[in-house]
């Protein structure tokens, strides 16, 4: 029995998802690669993804992330965690089950703060898997890990706002189905630092929006893309401000909590897959008369990987449990901790799995190189390690502030 026991309903989803991975997802990985290669277009939407989506939907493995029963199965974070972990084992599983970032976060924002019109026009097709979306906060001109620096100007002009500025790293904006952006900008530069920002719903084809280029990551042009986008006198109706003027910061906190932990859950799945590949390879390759798996340093790596995975899984489940029971705000230290720990530990395990594979590890014949590139970006995306560590340290130090004053005084 696990410390964080999950429900029978969640266990059924786990069993169904594991079966779907074996029968459909893993066999489709090669087909996916072939279809992508044949298309010659890095942002091609391969038919196999649509086939997998139809199958996942038929099996009820759809929108598993969505916490609101009206829109999804209504699982808790603790119930969803093992499912996200399973999907994290393959780079095509999350999209197949309509559980991929950043659509998941955007759907949650539209559920919580969207108008009826937003829900009809964007949320429904996103939940149907017929539309994709992007989230545009980061800017090339300012250090965006401090979101108070965000500069894109949102100036009120009658019943509209006029948007001017430049964003980058808007993931998913190159996806063939991407139709809408959630954009963070500054509506009132004179307000208190956390009340200056607002978020708006902006169609990607609105006049004045230009997708300038895709940003390859470690040389990989990800299919969903990470786009640089300019906004030149883009007119956005005031009704498309989410939650209200000055609420951008609050929305980003609401959005990033669950999003961050979902990344961590998937990172554990990637680490498990890397460990499995490491073990299989180490047993099948022989050097100097003995399988690589017989070497003590390799056994050390395997043992450490198992220990580390168990540790990050427990911390992830604890964070999920706290989010469910005391709320995202109260769980912020655990969310920050796992956001640092999970990608770093997954990276260490993937790196060692690459080493055990020899040259093959860095090729595209195995998923390890791509997994490494992706996981490395998670030390930056949704906040760099240092910013999360800063938050944890400040929380820790707070306890001793009074004591320090007392000693000095
Ligand atoms: C693959 C990928 C996908 C992304 N997807 C999105 C997306 O969909 N939408 C979006 O808006 N953004 C996205 N981002 C952007 C990401 O969120 C930012 O890169 C991140 O928040 C850091 O902002 P920055 O790049 O401006 O770095 P900066 O703010 O310039 O920071 C640079 C570095 O300074 C250091 N640093 C910062 N603060 C501190 C501190 N207090 N103490 C010590 N060191 C510090 C950190 O090491 C940090 O990496 C994505 C990024 C990547 C790589």
End-to-end alpha carbon distance in the chain: 51
Q: What pLDDT is attached to residue 403? A: 66
224 φ/ψ angles, rounded to the nearest 5 degrees: -75, -25
Short-list 233, 264, 249, 218, CA closest to 379: 264
Give mean pLDDT, residues 140-164: 97
Does 386 contact ligand 1 (Cβ within 6 A)?
A: yes
What mean pLDDT do residues 21-27 have?
A: 98
Predicted local confidence at residue 258, as pLDDT: 79
d(CA 237, CA 156): 10
Asked if 274 and 349 touch (Cβ cutoff 8 Å), the reply is yes
Tell me which residue has its CA closest to atom 13 in ligand 1: 169
Predicted confidence (pLDDT) per residue in 311-325, tens digit:
999 999 999 999 999
- Ligand 1 in reach of 259 Cβ (< 6 A): no
Pairing relation of β-strands 226-237 and 209-214?
A: antiparallel
Q: What percentage of the chain carries pLDDT values higher than 90? A: 91
pLDDT band per the 50, 70, 90 thresholds, residue 404: low
- Check pocket membership of 141 for ligand 1, CB cut-off 6 A: no
| Assigned architecture for domain 132-245 | Beta Barrel (2.40)
Chain region(s) in the chain for CATH 2.40.110.10? 132-245
Query: Percent of the chain having pLDDT more than 70?
Result: 98
Please name which of 220, 213, 215 lies closest in space to residue 373, comparing C-alpha atoms.
220
Is any ligand 1 atom within 6 A of the Cβ of residue 214?
no
327-339: average pLDDT: 93
pLDDT value of position 228: 98
Q: How far is CA 3 from CA 36, 186, 272, in A?
A: 42, 44, 20
- Residue of the nearest CA to atom 30 in ligand 1? 143
What is the rounded average pLDDT of the residues 52-63?
Answer: 97
Q: According to CATH, what is the number of the domain 8-100+122-128?
A: 1.10.540.10
Residue 409 confidence class, pLDDT cut points 50, 70, 90:
very low
Please give the average per-residue pLDDT across 77-100, as a whole number: 96
Longest dimension (CA), the chain: 79
Average pLDDT of the chain is: 95
Q: Which residues of 354-372 are buried (b: 16+ CB within 10 A; e: fewer)?
A: bbbbeeebeeeebbbbebb
Mean pLDDT in residue range 155-182: 98
pLDDT band at 406 (very low <50, low <70, confident <90, very high): low
DSSP E strands: which ranges in 266-372?
286-287, 290-291
Would you state the pLDDT for residue 69? Answer: 83
Residues 6+ apart with CB under 8 A from 26: 90
pLDDT, average across residues 148-168: 97
Taking Cα atoms as reference points, which of 214, 109, 104, 137 lies closest to residue 380? 137
pLDDT band at 89 (very low <50, low <70, confident <90, very high): very high
Indicate the SS3 state at residue 306.
helix
Q: How confident is the model at residue 252 (pLDDT cuts 50, 70, 90)?
A: confident
| Residue 349 pLDDT level (bands cut at 50, 70, 90) | very high
Closest CA to 164 of 144, 147, 139: 139
pLDDT value, residue 257: 73
Say if residue 35's pLDDT is above 80: yes
Distance CA 342, CA 331 (A): 16
pLDDT of residue 273: 97
The whole-number average pLDDT for the span 337-343 is 97
- State the average pLDDT over residues 45-61: 97
Dihedral sign for Cα atoms in the order 321, 322, 325, 331? negative
User: 45: number of CA atoms within 13 Å, CB side?
Assistant: 16
| 250-408 topology per CATH | Butyryl-CoA Dehydrogenase, subunit A; domain 3 (1.20.140)
pLDDT at 401: 84
Q: What average pLDDT does the segment 279-292 reach? A: 98
Contacts of 74 (CB under 8 A, 6+ apart): 66, 67, 68
144 Cα to the center of ligand 1, angstroms: 6
Q: How does pLDDT run across 190-208, given as a tens digit for each residue? A: 999 999 999 999 999 999 9
- Would you state the pLDDT for residue 405? 62
Residue environment code for 168-205, b if the CB has 16+ CB neighbours within 10 A, otherwise e: bbbbbbbbeebbbbbbbbbbeeeeeeebbbbbbbbebe
- CATH 1.20.140.10 occupies which residues in the chain? 250-408
How many A from CA of 359 to the centre of ligand 1?
A: 31
Contact (CB, 8 A) for 118 and 110: yes
User: How far apart are the C-alpha atoms of 9 and 1, rounded to whole Å?
Assistant: 16
pLDDT confidence of residue 2: 64
Would the CA dihedral through 322, 103, 72, 114 be positive or negative?
A: positive
Region(s) of the chain under CATH 1.10.540.10: 8-100+122-128
Mutate to test the pocket of ligand 1, among 137, 218, 262, 381 (most ligand atoms within 8 A of CB): 381
Residues 6+ apart with CB under 8 A from 390: none
Q: Which two tokens stand for residue 232?
A: 């030149």
At residue 59, does pLDDT exceed 90?
yes
């Amino acid at each position: 029995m696990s410390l964080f026991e999950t429900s029978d309903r969640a266990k059924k989803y786990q069993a169904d998802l594991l079966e779907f991975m074996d029968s459909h997802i893993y066999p489709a990985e090669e087909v996916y690669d072939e279809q992508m290669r044949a298309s010659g277009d890095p942002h091609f939407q391969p038919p196999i993804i649509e086939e997998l989506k139809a199958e996942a939907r038929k099996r009820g493995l759809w929108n598993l992330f969505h916490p609101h029963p009206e829109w999804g199965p209504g699982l808790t974070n603790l119930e969803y965690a093992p499912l996200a972990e399973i999907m994290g084992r393959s780079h095509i599983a999350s999209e197949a089950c309509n559980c991929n970032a950043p659509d998941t976060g955007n759907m949650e924002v539209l559920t919580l703060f969207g108008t009826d019109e937003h829900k009809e026009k964007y949320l429904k097709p996103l939940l149907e898997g017929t539309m994709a979306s992007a989230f545009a906060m980061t800017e090339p001109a300012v250090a965006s890990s401090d979101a108070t620096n965000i500069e894109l100007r949102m100036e009120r002009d009658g019943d509209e706002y006029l948007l001017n500025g430049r964003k980058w790293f808007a993931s998913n904006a190159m996806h063939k189905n991407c139709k809408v952006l959630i954009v963070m900008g500054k509506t009132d530069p004179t307000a208190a630092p956390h009340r200056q920002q607002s978020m708006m719903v902006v169609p990607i084809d609105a006049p004045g929006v230009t997708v300038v280029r895709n940003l390859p990551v470690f040389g990989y042009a990800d299919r969903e893309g990470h786009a640089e986008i300019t906004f030149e006198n883009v007119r956005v109706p005031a009704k498309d401000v989410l939650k209200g003027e000055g609420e951008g910061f609050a929305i980003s906190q609401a959005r990033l909590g669950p999003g961050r932990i979902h990344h961590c859950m998937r990172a554990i799945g990637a680490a498990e897959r890397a460990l499995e590949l490491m073990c299989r390879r180490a047993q099948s390759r022989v050097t100097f008369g003995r399988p690589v798996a017989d070497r003590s340093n390799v056994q050390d790596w395997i043992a450490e990987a198992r220990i580390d995975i168990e540790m990050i899984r427990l911390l992830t489940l604890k964070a999920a449990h706290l989010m469910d029971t005391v709320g995202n705000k109260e769980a912020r230290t655990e969310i920050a901790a796992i956001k640092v720990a999970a990608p770093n530990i997954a990276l260490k395990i993937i790196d060692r799995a690459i080493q055990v594979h020899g040259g093959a590890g860095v090729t595209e014949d195995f998923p390890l190189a791509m997994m490494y590139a992706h996981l490395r970006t998670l030390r930056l995306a949704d906040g760099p390690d240092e910013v999360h560590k800063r938050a944890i340290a400040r929380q820790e130090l707070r306890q001793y502030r009074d004591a320090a004053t007392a000693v000095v005084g």
